[in-house]
Amino acid sequence: MRIIWSPLAIDRISEIADYIAKDNIDASVKWIEDIFNEIERLRKFPESGRVVPEIDKNNIREIIYRNYRIVYQIGDKEISILTVRHFKQILPLDDTS
């Protein structure tokens, strides 16, 4: 399966990485590498994440990575990464459209 990143997800990754880099640039780079590695498993196991509780649709799922929710949508031939949010944040519905 192909993985596609939404502009919102890319912006969120960048914002989080910039925040981490304020304290530790190496940790920021490692966080980005780790999150991309975590998402790679979706190519083989797209349903490995749980259904997002706020949405309750089988094709919109999330992986919890450390303190972050990686929200994605499963399509026929692709996986769309919709957003990345801190796990304490409630997911706004407009992040999934």
Return the higher-pLDDT residue of 79 and 55.
Answer: 79
Q: Is the pLDDT of residue 3 over 60?
A: yes
Q: Is the pLDDT of residue 17 over 90?
A: yes
Q: Is the pLDDT of residue 21 over 80?
A: yes
Residue 86: predicted pLDDT: 82
Q: What is the mean pLDDT of residues 2-31?
A: 95
Residue ranges of domains in the chain, CATH in brackets: 2-89 (3.30.2310.20)
Residue 90 DSSP SS3: coil
The pTM (predicted TM-score) of the whole model is: 0.86
Distances (CA, A) of 57 to 23, 52, 60, 80: 38, 7, 6, 15
pLDDT tens per residue, range 29-77:
999 999 999 999 999 999 999 999 888 899 999 999 988 999 999 999 9
In three state form, how does the secondary structure of the chain look? CEEEECHHHHHHHHHHHHHHHCCCHHHHHHHHHHHHHHHHHHHCCCCCCEECCCCCCCCEEEEEECCEEEEEEECCCEEEEEEEEECCCCCCHHHHC
Q: Is the pLDDT of residue 97 over 60?
A: no
